A and B are shown apart, each in its own frame.
Chain A
Amino acid sequence: QSVLTQPPSASGTPGQRVTISCSGSSSNIGSNTVNWYQQFPGTAPKLLIYSNNQRPLGVPDRFSGSKSGTSASLAISGLQSEDEADYYCAAWDDSLNGNWVFGGGTKLTVL
């Protein structure tokens, strides 16, 4: 049971806009920023979005992040087949002396 809640799956067709949600609480998303990671099978996670809505160099602007209250979202516009991957949200949690927490991950399928 992950501290942050994500839908286990999401899907879309090429060119479509897809959003993935991440729900938390006041001790994590409600008081800290959210980061998003993209992971392809058999590879390490890659930083996709940091500090709620910042893109590292090299990440296409098709990927965007937002946060409101105790929830966050990752949006992917102009969906491409190569976007098919697992996506994880993460945030610092202030409870129990501090702890990084992750969502359970969302598997994105491009139909």
Chain B
Amino acid sequence: SQQGEEDPQALSIQEGENATMNCSYKTSINNLQWYRQNSGRGLVHLILIRSNEREKHSGRLRVTLDTSKKSSSLLITASRAADTASYFCATDPISSGSARQLTFGSGTQLTVLP
């Protein structure tokens, strides 16, 4: 079952602009994670935010989490052409077992134009 839903499905911006992607989910979570996927490759973990955190930074990435609204956003500042990729949110539900299986959304395709 899909828990995370990203918005927008596709985003096209100019190099140097900021890109914001949103994720909504349905159930209570332990954490929410963002992954990046370059075309034809596997997913790479970007950042994890715990349910008791509201904001987290890593380099040019800023993630926010609002558990009352069950939503998260990923902000990429000063985007570069190399940021062109698909971005996925994934939730670790409280109900998941010891394997901590994640539930992924359908992703946002980001295109950064040079």
A-B interaction: no
